[in-house]
Structure 1
Amino acid sequence: MAISHAKPAEVINLQPLSDKIASTKTHTIFKTDAMEAIRLVLPAGKQIAEHKAPGEITVHCLEGEVNFSAGGTTHVLHGGEMLYLEAADPHAVEAIQDSTVLVTIVFSKG
């Protein structure tokens, strides 16, 4: 089965999942040679260990509350808040509440 990604100019619904978080999986919304957008679905307590992205990233908490650790600091992101990181900055995430997070990666030219 092919993975379905959004097409250029297609409207993408990023409304809160609310009680559907438990039944929804993380998925890539779209991916091109230059960038990728991923909707992370994080039930409370879910952790993503420290890792690095292959390009600059934005992390936009759509709903819930997550601890986002980078650069030796942990930030609490609530729904509607975002931050960005430079390429290859180590970071980790932990959901404090059921949460969804939009991660956008801009791939480094090289």
Structure 2
Amino acid sequence: MALKHACHDEVIDPYAGIDEQGIGVSASLLRTPHLQLMRLVLKAGATLREHRVRGEITVQCLRGEVDVSTPERECSLEAGQLVVVPGGEPHAVTARSDCLLLLTVVHGIT
């Protein structure tokens, strides 16, 4: 079965399906030729090992606390904060507490 993504002009709720304790599942919310939105649910201590994404990304912390590391810097995010990572830059993500993140990836805009 194909993954259901939102369409243009459709309201997206990144908290849909997430309970008060932050329990839910990660999901791709929107995918167009130029933009992708993903909800990422991480338990305390979980790590996304260093990886690269072609497009420029934002990592926005909606709930909890998370560290975002690149070869140049490490930043800690709390709920309501975000960071921009340039396309192609290696980065890793580590949850300091149970967290809910909204990731935005910009693909191939020239």
Same fold (TM over 0.5): yes
Deviations along 1:4-27, whole A, 9 cap, x unmatched?
111111111134833142xx2211
Moved over 2 A (4+): 14-18
- Equivalent position of 1:49 in the other structure: 49
The yes-or-no answer on 1:19 pairing with 2:2 is no
Provide the identity percentage. 36
Post-superposition CA distance 1:89-109 (Å, at most 9, x none) = 110001011101111110134
- State the alpha-carbon separation in 2 of the partners of residues 60 and 33 from structure 1: 21
CA contact (8 A) 1:44 1:96 kept: yes
Q: Which structure shows the bigger proportion of residues in helix conformation?
A: 1
Superposition TM-score, scaled by structure 1 size: 0.89
TM-score, length basis structure 2: 0.89
Q: Cα RMSD over matched residues?
A: 1.6
2:73 counterpart residue number: 73
Paired letter, 1:46: A
How many residue pairs match? The answer is: 108
* Aligned residue in 2 for 1:100: 100
Q: Which moved more, 1:68-77 or 1:55-64?
A: 68-77
- Aligned equivalents of 2:76, 2:109: Cα separation in 1: 31
The superposition leaves residues 13-71 of structure 1 with CA deviations (integer Å, 9 ceiling, x where unpaired) of 134833142xx221100101111111111111110000001111111111100011013
Amino acid at match of 2:30: F
- Gaps (5+ residues) in structure 1? none
**2:33 corresponds to:** 33
